[in-house]
Structure 1
């Protein structure tokens, strides 16, 4: 299960229910995908086929909505 948390422009932000419990967010767009850790600090875990500019923009979006992503994670996993 991969609930979509948010869509902004071409980016879909989601997480996978069957992955590890450390908070993180996945993002997918037509050009590629990435995973960012939300804790202990925001950090890129990996990406596939995304430009530096796209990664920078995605990180900005995550920073703007980090609390929402964390809250969605907590609700989904009932923390």
Structure 2
């Protein structure tokens, strides 16, 4: 299960239900994907296929929706 939390332009933000417990978000884009750690601060964990500009845009999207993402994480995983 991979609930979508946000769609913003070409970016889809989601997380997998059975993955590691550290808070993070996956970002899908037509050209590739990225994963960002959310705690202790917003940080790129890994990416594939995205240009530097697309990565920067993806990070801005995550930052813009950070509160919504964290709330969705807690609702989905508890805590």
The TM-score range, normalised by the shorter chain, is over 0.9
Shift of residue 29, structure 1, vs aligned partner: 1.2
Where does structure 1 lack aligned partners over 5 or more consecutive residues? none
Structure 1 moving runs of 4+ over 2 Å: none
Count of residue correspondences: 79
RMSD (Å) for aligned C-alpha atoms: 0.6
Structure number with the bigger relative contact order (C-alpha 8 A, sep ≥ 6) is 2
TM-score, with normalisation over the residues of structure 1?
0.97
Where does structure 2 lack aligned partners over 5 or more consecutive residues? none
TM-score, with normalisation over the residues of structure 2?
0.97
